[in-house]
Structure 1
Amino acid sequence: MFGFIHESIRQLVIRKFGEETWMNVLDRSGFENGKENIVNHYYSDTDTYVLVDSVALVLKITKDQVWELYGAFLITYSMEIGWDELVRSLSPNLKTFLDNLDSLHYFIDHVVYKANLRGPSFRCEETEDGSLILHYFTSRPGLYHIVKGVVKEVARKVFNLDINLIVQGRTQRSVHMQMGGERVEEHVIFSIKHVGEQRRESEGSNGSLLTDAAYTEILEDPLRVSVDDFSRACPYHIVIDESCRLVQCGNELFNHCPTDLLKPGTPLHRIIEINRPQIPLDFDNICNFINAVFVVQIKTPPQRKKYQEIEEEGTERAETPENNDLQQGCHLKLKGQMMLLGTKKHIIYMCSPYVTSINELMQFGMRLTAMPLHDATRDLILLNQQRLSDVEVNLQLEANNEQLESMTKDLEIENKKTDSILKDMLPRSIALQLLSGEHIEPCEYEATVMFCDIPAFQSIIPASPPKDIVRLLNEIFHKLDRIVVLRKVYKVETVADSYMTVSGIPDYTPEHAENMCHVALGMMWEARSVEDPVNHTPFLLRIGLHSGTIIAGVVGTKMPRYCLFGETVTMASQMESLGIPGKIQCSKWTFQKATVTGRFEFCPRGRICVRGRGEVEVYFLTRSLKKSIWEITDHERDINVNSIEGYEELETAIENAVSKTNENEKTRPDQRASAACTIS
């Protein structure tokens, strides 16, 4: 259905029940807010029915009641948005208003919105007691409650009538279409009682200067119009009998149909087919829809008898395949009114070519001179040219708006991705400052820095394909990253197999050394779950920690990095490079800081020579006395297999790996300095 219906339903719910109710309707129906009421959009009937079902469920009323409410509101809403004068000027009384509903539907559908919708049809009869019988035909069964709401509201609002409308009958039948297939058509009969309006004569009904008597005096004989005169005055008319056979037709039709088809007695279905309303072509059906606007299509292409001047205007233009296709490939459509003649056995179809633009006119090889001077189609074609231009501009604007909305959403998604990447590359608080355009000043912090690497990595490189090396590093670092996120420290960078992280910046915490010790224990546990492809043993990390003062700041603009500088970074790197695989080596400063805020078990290594520092006292971190391995790594312990703390399993795994590695490697590779940020 047309989007205007969705918009009027939205207005109905919001005005009578509030904005919150409408949002509940959208949630229940599955529509995205703002996409359910695009006025010029065509929605499937299923979408509209789902929307109405949702309204009924939210308001706790029946669907029939929703449709009747909608019908009454539709009149009010339509009059508010600019149709008030048209509705009030359509007819002087309710009967003729109902008789003209078909033409009003056609005008709104085909002229205003160009939607080509399947609208209903109405036929109204007046009984002897003054009541009305309204016949309602539709291809959408079950919507007759809209008619009840519309008619009651029109009677009340336009004609000041209080009517009683009752459904007298309701039938459905399957209709076979000329174009193939079939559809269900519903026929509902309404009885409208207590119609007390006064029949008002139309303006000028008694204003003629010549009465019937005057005609009698002037004309010696009754005035008769010959068939030729009538055919010239109405060049596209068609008269048929009860058998739907041709009786006579207008002159212009011979330019669009073969002469042998336009002979009296030819079955009408050989000449035309009905496009609107969608009914079978027979006398009774035409009478049932006598108030509808009829659009028919000539079955044969243009004959081009009268329009040879097209070729004379320009031989090259007339001979082009494009022009021939336009003229020969199109079938003329006629639009007009079916009228039952006084004999009650004949119907005349008063019509004009159904063309609304210059392009359509040219497709049939016609000129404006083919239209009688009195035919309003001439004005419609000329006026519609400007309207089509405006419509095209509006459609293009709507398309551009939709494209901009889509691009805006895509841009927002990409911005979120970019922001997310930046927040991963930098500490969150620093990233937010950069995104807001603030300048980041370098600062001095007290923190704990950790380096770790994989000593066996150098022996893996020559023995493994490049893809396997990348996969292996990705697997290990993925596990280490998990611990970093879990313990809320900042990962600075990775270079080859070297991994650098820091605790205590940019947001200072007194527990920075304690946090980093827990990270080191967690990483050592996680690395044992990855196998060395050369020695077939669990990987052993070599980890070094040092605490002290560092300088941190953002370096670069295209790919900004949060870099650490100072003696503390160099010392942490030395702790790692001078360490032992499977051990966490800490400087005495980290040992002292960690024991202030936390409880750990350290094993003294003694004093080692550190470049630039001389002999330095160092320690090996073995376990935490506050947290188990399961708490640090957020793993669930198997009570039937694992110990309570988990450190026994960690120590055993490290000892076994070291033992097997020593057996497989007779020569230990030279220790190398970490490739991370070292400062000499």
Structure 2
Amino acid sequence: MYGMLLESVQHFVQEQFGDHIWKKAIRATGSTNTVFNTHQIYPDSLMPDLAEALAALTGESFDYFMDFFGKCFVRFFTNFGYDKMLKATGRYFCDFLQSVDNIHLQMRFTYPKMKSPSMQLTETDDNGAVLVYRSNRTGFSKYFMGLLYEIASMFYGLDSIGVKVLESKNDNPGSTTGPLQLEPKTVVVKYRLDFDNRDYMAKRINLQVHESQLQLEKVDSSVLLELFPFALILDHEMKIKGAGEKVFESWIIQNPQKKPEIFIGSLVTDCFRLRRPKGILFNWKTVTQMHFVIFELELICSHHSLKSVAHQLADTTSTIDLEHDDNSTSTRILLKGQMRHMTDIDAIVFLCSPLINSVEELHGMGLFLNDLNPHGLSKEMVMAGWQHCSRLELVFEKEEERSDELETSLELADSWKRQGDELLYSMIPRPIAERLRNGQNTLDTCQSFEQVSVIFGEDTTPSEDSLQDAMRAVSTLNAAFSAFDDEVQGPMVYKVETVGHVYMAVSGAPDKNPLHAEHAADLALNMVRRMKELNLPNVTVKIGIHSGSVVAGVVGVKVPRYCLFGDTVNTASRMESSGLPNKIQVSHFTAERLKKAGYKLKQRGFVKVKGKGEMETFWLEAGPDKQ
């Protein structure tokens, strides 16, 4: 909702209940706003939350404050001059109720993101009327009642108006305890308004029996279609029963691939898109109750060239010249007018005219000046180049659609970038990748590390004798390595690579870490634990660790990898290959560091290591006791 509604609430709450109550209420809602901007958008839930907070602070009910807020808004908008607009809508309260949607229509450029409710006056009598209210906001029915009370009193002198809810659908009486956002126009409330309506009803009866009406002869509907060449006649099923010559020709031009004879008898929604009023059910019952509301229909077109249909109209009309340039494309036609129920033929007639801004736009629609209504200012407006609000709004909506598409594309691009970054960081450590992005040469990323600990873990899956065994081995490796990946989190340990059944990781590179041996030992213990938890049949893991110096850097251009080089890597690999299933074998150098840190180790003795001779090794059994 726009800030003007909340400004009205703040002003009158501070005036009637005091500034201290307002500050407590705004804090209770969790809002950080101390003032509200007239044209800024705020959450719809804020007003019901304020009503709930004020009810708790003052002892009044939630409904009392929502009704109070509605009255506040009517008193407040007089500061903006909107009271003059309301007074000009009609002599009677019913005239205003029939014109509310049109008032919102006129304000759509001042408040372009306004989600205005829709109202239909369904019944009128001497004692009042029945009003149907539709909105995409829940919890605002009492607010609307407050609006009605205040408008009836301030502008129409009706101090004793009664408002009663006859039916309610999907409205939530509380604040944010229920669903505050439903699908558009989900909330439907039918009100009975009791007030003195005798003057309005007398005016209607006088018009119906006036001598000027009784002396008129019946006129054939074809005459009406001649006067309004863009008019439509709709039956109870909302099918096109008749149409003016020009709207029929325009449909053929805009839809050259369709047979002309299918237009008559088609559903109006198959040929036109309802642009206004928004959010209503476009059916017979609704439309017959909204004969004072302005309707806008947009002709649905297939975007084909006008020239491609010249042969279809050659035999039927000579008023439209279809010889346009090859670059000419069709422009969608907007029709604006009223839906009137003609009791004589029991049909709805859409009396309308096309909205055209300029001669160039007229040409783009395949129309000429003599095709427009012979009455009114349609031709003069085209010649003068006057801009229709609906045309401007259509451009605005299209730009919003493009903006939404652009935002979606940017979000998608960001998502792809994140996925690309994740893939890159799986091959190259983040600090190294950032250096390469900044234009650094791959050779410049090479770095020597005095002390790191290298871990090798081998999955001892049985050999694959058949295709089925190979598939089972792949599944087993995936489960095991995925579990290991879960343990390699944060900057303390980095996964270097997996080759076949072997998993390689390092602690102390690329981020230097004085506790590299301890973190490598913790990872190894967790790897053994996770393998036991997986409980894979006939599958174990043997792990080797050695600490020492290495050289690390990025190797490769097409598929770059972060690699480690040095005798430390070779020794760690030998610790793994000479180990035993579900055991962690560490070198003497690493064992000495771990003993000082409190890790539990068991001497294995001297083991013959390929390329190294005999080496004293140890089994890592557990971490330090946690106090």
Bin for the TM-score computed over the shorter chain: 0.5 to 0.7
Residue in 2 that maps onto 1:552:
552
Give how far 1:450 is off: 1.8
The one-character-per-residue Cα deviations of 1:497-552 (angstroms, maximum 9, x if unpaired) are: 011111222343343223323433443344345667xxx64x34333222111122
Residue in 2 that maps onto 1:515:
519
Give how far 1:567 is off: 1.7
Residue in 2 that maps onto 1:88:
84
Give how far 1:568 is off: 1.1
Tell me the distance in 1 between the aligned counterparts of 2:71 and 2:26: 20
Residue in 2 that maps onto 1:139:
132
- Confirm or deny that 1:564 pairs with 2:557: no
Tell me the distance in 2 between the aligned counterparts of 1:332 and 1:582: 80
Aligned amino acid, residue 160 of structure 2: I
Question: Structure 1 pair 547/352, CA: closer, same or farther in 2 (3 Å)?
Answer: closer
Give how far 1:423 is off: 4.6
Instruction: Answer whether contact 2:9 2:72 (CA < 8 A) is retained.
Output: no
Instruction: Answer whether contact 2:552 2:565 (CA < 8 A) is retained.
Output: yes
SS in 1 for 2:509: coil
Residue in 2 that maps onto 1:321:
none
Instruction: Answer whether contact 1:514 1:598 (CA < 8 A) is retained.
Output: no
Residue in 2 that maps onto 1:585:
585
Give how far 1:37 is off: 8.6
SS in 2 for 1:546: strand
Tell me the distance in 2 between the aligned counterparts of 1:520 and 1:65: 64
Give how far 1:616 is off: 3.9
Instruction: Answer whether contact 1:25 1:55 (CA < 8 A) is retained.
Output: no
Residue in 2 that maps onto 1:119:
119
SS in 2 for 1:478: helix
Residue in 1 that maps onto 2:103:
108
Tell me the distance in 2 between the aligned counterparts of 1:102 and 1:363: 39
Mapping of residues 183-582 of structure 1, within 5 Å: 186-190=191-195, 240-241=208-209, 247-248=215-216, 254-256=222-224, 293=292, 311-313=317-319, 353-357=351-355, 371-372=374-375, 375=376, 386-427=388-429, 430=432, 440=445, 442-455=447-460, 457=462, 459-460=463-464, 462=466, 464-485=468-489, 488-528=492-532, 537=538, 539-556=539-556, 560-582=560-582
Tell me the distance in 1 between the aligned counterparts of 2:488 and 2:316: 82
Tell me the distance in 1 between the aligned counterparts of 2:23 and 2:436: 43
Tell me the distance in 1 between the aligned counterparts of 2:445 and 2:211: 92
Tell me the distance in 2 between the aligned counterparts of 1:407 and 1:19: 43
Tell me the distance in 2 between the aligned counterparts of 1:315 and 1:609: 95
Give how far 1:474 is off: 1.0
The one-character-per-residue Cα deviations of 1:320-364 (angstroms, maximum 9, x if unpaired) are: xxxxxx9xxx999757999xxxxxxxxxxxx9943242699x999
Question: Structure 1 pair 188/517, CA: closer, same or farther in 2 (3 Å)?
Answer: closer
The one-character-per-residue Cα deviations of 1:622-679 (angstroms, maximum 9, x if unpaired) are: 5236249xx9xxxxxxxxxxxxxxxxxxxxxxxxxxxxxxxxxxxxxxxxxxxxxxxx
Residue in 1 that maps onto 2:250:
none
Aligned amino acid, residue 473 of structure 2: I
Tell me the distance in 1 between the aligned counterparts of 2:491 and 2:465: 31
The one-character-per-residue Cα deviations of 1:283-331 (angstroms, maximum 9, x if unpaired) are: xxx9xx9x9847899xxxxxxxxxxx983436999xxxxxxxx9xxx99
Aligned amino acid, residue 147 of structure 1: L
Question: Structure 1 pair 456/618, CA: closer, same or farther in 2 (3 Å)?
Answer: farther
Give how far 1:150 is off: 3.6
SS in 2 for 1:166: coil
Give the RMSD, CA atoms, in angstroms: 6.0
Residue in 1 that maps onto 2:51:
56
Question: Structure 1 pair 408/623, CA: closer, same or farther in 2 (3 Å)?
Answer: same
Residue in 2 that maps onto 1:621:
619
Tell me the distance in 2 between the aligned counterparts of 1:364 and 1:252: 26
Aligned amino acid, residue 216 of structure 2: Q
Instruction: Answer whether contact 2:544 2:574 (CA < 8 A) is retained.
Output: yes
Gaps of 5+ in 1: 28-35, 40-46, 126-132, 156-162, 175-182, 193-237, 259-269, 298-308, 318-325, 339-350, 632-680
- Confirm or deny that 1:165 pairs with 2:159: yes
The one-character-per-residue Cα deviations of 1:240-260 (angstroms, maximum 9, x if unpaired) are: 5499997515879551379xx
Tell me the distance in 2 between the aligned counterparts of 1:443 and 1:19: 62
Tell me the distance in 2 between the aligned counterparts of 1:557 and 1:23: 58
The one-character-per-residue Cα deviations of 1:222-242 (angstroms, maximum 9, x if unpaired) are: xxxxxxxxxxxxxxxx98549
Question: Structure 1 pair 590/169, CA: closer, same or farther in 2 (3 Å)?
Answer: closer
Give how far 1:496 is off: 0.7
Residue in 2 that maps onto 1:180:
none
Aligned amino acid, residue 621 of structure 2: R
SS in 2 for 1:248: coil
Give how far 1:436 is off: 7.7
Question: Structure 1 pair 145/13, CA: closer, same or farther in 2 (3 Å)?
Answer: closer
Tell me the distance in 2 between the aligned counterparts of 1:434 and 1:241: 88
Gaps of 5+ in 2: 14-21, 33-38, 56-60, 110-114, 134-140, 169-187, 198-205, 227-240, 243-275, 297-314, 324-331, 343-348
SS in 2 for 1:508: coil
TM-score norm. by structure 1 comes to 0.53
Instruction: Answer whether contact 1:64 1:145 (CA < 8 A) is retained.
Output: no
Give how far 1:495 is off: 0.5
Instruction: Answer whether contact 2:542 2:579 (CA < 8 A) is retained.
Output: yes
Tell me the distance in 1 between the aligned counterparts of 2:386 and 2:210: 37
Question: Structure 1 pair 453/569, CA: closer, same or farther in 2 (3 Å)?
Answer: same
Question: Structure 1 pair 416/437, CA: closer, same or farther in 2 (3 Å)?
Answer: farther
Residue in 2 that maps onto 1:595:
595
Instruction: Answer whether contact 2:295 2:338 (CA < 8 A) is retained.
Output: yes
Instruction: Answer whether contact 2:597 2:624 (CA < 8 A) is retained.
Output: no
SS in 1 for 2:159: strand
SS in 1 for 2:505: strand
Residue in 2 that maps onto 1:209:
none
Instruction: Answer whether contact 1:585 1:618 (CA < 8 A) is retained.
Output: no
- Greater CA drift, 471-480 or 142-151: 142-151
Question: Structure 1 pair 134/513, CA: closer, same or farther in 2 (3 Å)?
Answer: same
Question: Structure 1 pair 95/370, CA: closer, same or farther in 2 (3 Å)?
Answer: closer
Question: Structure 1 pair 65/136, CA: closer, same or farther in 2 (3 Å)?
Answer: farther
Aligned amino acid, residue 353 of structure 2: V
Q: Percent identity?
A: 20
Which structure's CA Rg is the greater one?
1
Instruction: Answer whether contact 1:357 1:384 (CA < 8 A) is retained.
Output: no
Instruction: Answer whether contact 1:605 1:620 (CA < 8 A) is retained.
Output: yes
Tell me the distance in 2 between the aligned counterparts of 1:57 and 1:164: 30
Aligned amino acid, residue 319 of structure 2: E
TM-score norm. by structure 2 comes to 0.57
Give how far 1:454 is off: 3.5
Give how far 1:384 is off: 6.7
Question: Structure 1 pair 124/310, CA: closer, same or farther in 2 (3 Å)?
Answer: same
Question: Structure 1 pair 56/243, CA: closer, same or farther in 2 (3 Å)?
Answer: farther
